[in-house]
């Protein structure tokens, strides 16, 4: 702990708070409230907040500071209120991965169990896909709803997936963009407060977190993922929100597709009673956690999936936001197939490389203002453990711009290994954090 004297006058000065945090000092609630409010109100220069964020990355925040920081972020904007709904509300957040389309079948499945699911989602950046980008591949579907439209859809349909309005945690919008360009994204306190300020402000009664672990995830090790999960669970509970987290594997892509329309099609397969086993497993596991969190586990999500009830909700959910659930999805104009070079067993398939290939094909964006190709992406024909034959298709690349194939092939050049023995099986769900 620093021995410097904490600044106590008000208004405070950003430089004093930066120095204090750099020396390992602990900020008061009043100092944190002022810092967040002043930054949101453009009273603090971007370079000053950059310096403070870097100080947090290296010196951290105490639990009290983190709770105060998160509360100040929430108080920078509006807080949604779902208390008038006729059913309990529960939300889900994933820290992001390759092929992670789980929100699409999950939201209607949980709604089919009698629970309202307000899912405010974002767009993709880099190798992880955004839920809104996926849904926008459905003709007519719109991401932007007013609060009144969101509430009405939750009451009438039971689930909504849409963009967060500008009034929700504006401090995070500014700070998120700043962290992205200043090398301070990796700070667990800043990650946790960014996620949880938005989720708490959304106003759901409970939250289930899907914290990804592995090469295709932000957290590469179970220890770091568990630390992030525990930090977020504690923040949720400190605010009175029932919160639980699952640690799930992201060393291999989830499902058999990575790309917007490709992932929508795979999600519809799941809702129709098919689809890849890992997508089904994780969807049902998260759904069971969500309904249990609000005391509505009298319906088993697996039964509601098998009965077609979740598909009915999906169709209603898409129609309510202007989409046509029966419309053909976009298909890329060009494809390129990567084949197995020998007989054997597929031993590994690196999630990060697959995500990077999908990004290079046009499924993702390097900057937030860039457009995405709805039909672009990667389709997998085998997962680790599968027997393959020489010449058999392993991966199909999809894009409207064939000059992108070369870059995608470079990304995938060392992404997989074919050997003579089966790999060790890795469970999909690695841990549960409460």
**pLDDT for res 6:** 40
List Cβ neighbours of 160 (8 Å cut-off, separation of 6 or more): 107, 117, 118, 119, 145, 150, 153, 154, 317, 320, 321
| Cα dist from 4 to 21, 64, 155, 245, 336, whole Å | 10, 20, 54, 38, 62
Would you state the structure tokens that stand for residue 267, as one six-digit string? 């999600």
Catalytic residue among 33, 172, 249, 350: 172
Distance CA 106, CA 86 (A): 20
- Say whether 172 is catalytic: yes
- Say whether 194 is catalytic: yes
> Along the 434 residues of the chain, how does pLDDT read in single tens digits?
333 334 444 589 999 999 999 999 999 999 999 999 999 999 999 999 999 999 999 999 999 999 999 999 999 999 999 999 999 999 999 999 999 999 999 999 999 999 999 999 887 666 666 899 999 999 999 999 999 999 999 999 999 999 988 899 999 999 988 888 888 888 999 999 999 999 999 999 999 999 999 999 989 999 999 999 999 999 999 999 999 999 999 999 999 999 999 999 999 999 999 999 999 999 999 999 999 999 998 889 999 999 999 999 999 999 999 999 999 999 999 999 999 999 999 999 999 999 999 999 999 876 666 789 999 999 999 999 999 999 999 999 999 999 999 999 999 999 999 999 999 999 999 999 99
In which residue ranges of the chain is CATH 3.90.1170.30 found? 334-419
Q: Which numeric CATH code is attached to 334-419?
A: 3.90.1170.30
- For the segment(s) 90-320, the CATH number from 3.90.1150.10, 3.40.1030.10, 1.10.287.130, 3.20.20.70 is 3.40.1030.10
- Say whether 198 is catalytic: yes
**pLDDT for res 7:** 41
**pLDDT for res 125:** 60
Distance CA 61, CA 67 (A): 9
| Cα dist from 222 to 83, 92, 243, 254, whole Å | 36, 20, 19, 18
Catalytic residue among 198, 199, 304, 398: 198
Catalytic residue among 194, 197, 215, 251: 194
Catalytic residue among 71, 93, 134, 315: 93
In which residue ranges of the chain is CATH 3.40.1030.10 found? 90-320
Distance CA 84, CA 239 (A): 20
**Strand-by-strand arrangement of the 387-388 sheet:** 387-388, 344-349, 416-419
**pLDDT for res 248:** 98
Report DSSP state, residue 85.
S
Catalytic residue among 71, 92, 179, 360: 179
- Say whether 93 is catalytic: yes
Distance CA 358, CA 400 (A): 12
């Amino acid at each position: 702990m620093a021995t410097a004297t904490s600044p106590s006058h008000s208004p405070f000065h950003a430089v004093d708070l930066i120095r204090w945090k750099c020396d390992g000092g602990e900020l008061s609630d009043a100092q944190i409230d002022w810092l967040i409010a002043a930054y949101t109100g453009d009273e603090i220069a971007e370079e000053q907040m950059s310096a403070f964020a870097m100080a947090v990355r290296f010196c951290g925040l105490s639990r009290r500071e983190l709770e105060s920081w998160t509360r100040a972020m929430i108080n920078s904007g509006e807080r949604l209120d779902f208390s008038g709904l006729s059913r309990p509300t529960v939300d889900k957040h994933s820290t992001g991965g390759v092929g992670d389309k789980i929100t699409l079948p999950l939201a209607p499945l949980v709604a089919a169990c009698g629970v309202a699911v307000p899912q405010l989602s974002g767009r993709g950046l880099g190798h992880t896909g955004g839920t809104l980008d996926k849904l926008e591949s459905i003709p007519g579907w719109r991401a932007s709803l007013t609060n009144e439209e969101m509430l009405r859809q939750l009451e009438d349909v039971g689930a909504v997936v849409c963009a967060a309005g500008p009034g929700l945690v504006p401090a995070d919008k500014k700070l998120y963009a700043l962290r992205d360009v200043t090398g301070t994204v990796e700070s667990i306190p800043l990650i946790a407060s960014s996620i949880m300020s938005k989720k708490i402000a959304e106003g759901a009664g409970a939250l289930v977190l899907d914290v990804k672990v592995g090469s295709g995830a932000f957290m590469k090790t179970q220890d770091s993922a568990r630390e992030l999960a525990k930090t977020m669970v504690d923040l949720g509970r400190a605010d009175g929100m029932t919160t639980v987290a699952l640690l799930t594997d992201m060393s291999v892509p989830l499902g058999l597709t990575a790309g917007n329309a490709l992932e929508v099609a795979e999600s519809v397969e799941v809702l129709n009673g098919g689809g890849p086993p890992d997508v089904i497993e994780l969807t049902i596991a998260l759904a069971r956690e969500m309904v249990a969190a609000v005391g509505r586990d009298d319906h088993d999500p697996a039964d509601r999936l098998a009965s077609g009830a979740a598909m009915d909700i999906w169709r209603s959910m898409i129609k309510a936001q202007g989409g046509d659930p029966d419309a053909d999805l976009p298909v890329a104009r060009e494809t390129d197939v990567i084949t197995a070079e020998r007989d054997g067993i597929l031993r590994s398939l690196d999630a990060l490389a697959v995500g990077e290939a999908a990004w290079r094909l046009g499924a993702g964006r390097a900057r937030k203002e860039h457009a995405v190709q709805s039909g672009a992406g990667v389709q997998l024909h085998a997962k680790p453990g599968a027997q393959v034959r020489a010449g058999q298709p392993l991966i199909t690349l999809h894009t409207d711009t064939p000059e992108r194939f070369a870059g995608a092939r470079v990304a995938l050049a060392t992404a997989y290994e074919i050997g003579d023995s089966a790999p060790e099986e890795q469970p999909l769900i690695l841990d549960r954090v409460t």
